[in-house]
Amino acid sequence: MELTKFKLSALNSVGSYTMFYYHAPLVGVGVFESLLFVYATQTIAMSTQCFGQIIEAELDAKMARTKNRPMAQGRIDPKTGCFVGTTLTLSSLMAYTYFEPYTWIVSNTVWFSYLCVYLPMKQRSELNTLAGAVVGALPPFIGTFAQTGALFDPTTLLLSAYIFSW
């Protein structure tokens, strides 16, 4: 739970599922589709947090706020962390194949943006806060794409703008 920041990951899932449900066909969305989508979104978000802790373990160990994280304390070794993160990523990719083709690309764009854009910027620029806000506002696009196959929609943009401003 600590390694994957389950609660934070769940917030990403809620934002994504909101648009998934909003764009559901008029007949609604079934329980199976809902659970599968939440599972896929939750596991990719948890994978992101897991790999983030692996990448930042050394820095986390130096900061009072983050020194008790499992990777920073050495309670979980990097090899185990990579296994957990990879398993979550692959599990998510398999679950996303049920939805619109390429939904996994949208979800992994968020994953990649967090790990390869936001995290490195934290050490280099104050603009990391802006980058983090953008990345944090992207999950609703996963839900929209999973249902419609389109990225841009006014309602999705509004929800993302709200998350961004928060």
pLDDT number for residue 166: 85
Task: Produce one character per residue of 102-118: b if its CB has 16 or more CB atoms within 10 Å, e if not.
Answer: ebbebbbebbebbbeeb
CATH architecture label of 6-165: Orthogonal Bundle (1.10)
pLDDT digits (tens, 9 = 90+) for 59-117: 999 999 999 999 999 999 999 999 999 999 999 999 999 998 899 999 999 999 999 99
pLDDT number for residue 35: 96
pLDDT digits (tens, 9 = 90+) for 8-49: 999 999 999 999 999 998 777 899 999 999 999 999 999 999
pLDDT digits (tens, 9 = 90+) for 19-28: 999 999 877 7
- The answer to whether 4 and 88 have CB atoms below 8 angstroms apart is yes
Alpha helices in the chain (DSSP H): 6-22, 31-55, 57-62, 70-73, 78-96, 103-113, 119-122, 128-136, 139-148, 154-165
Count CB atoms within 10 A of the CB of residue 164. 15
Q: Is 124 exposed, middle or buried (0-12, 13-18, 19+ CB in 10 A)?
A: exposed
- The answer to whether 146 and 36 have CB atoms below 8 angstroms apart is no
- The answer to whether 86 and 79 have CB atoms below 8 angstroms apart is no
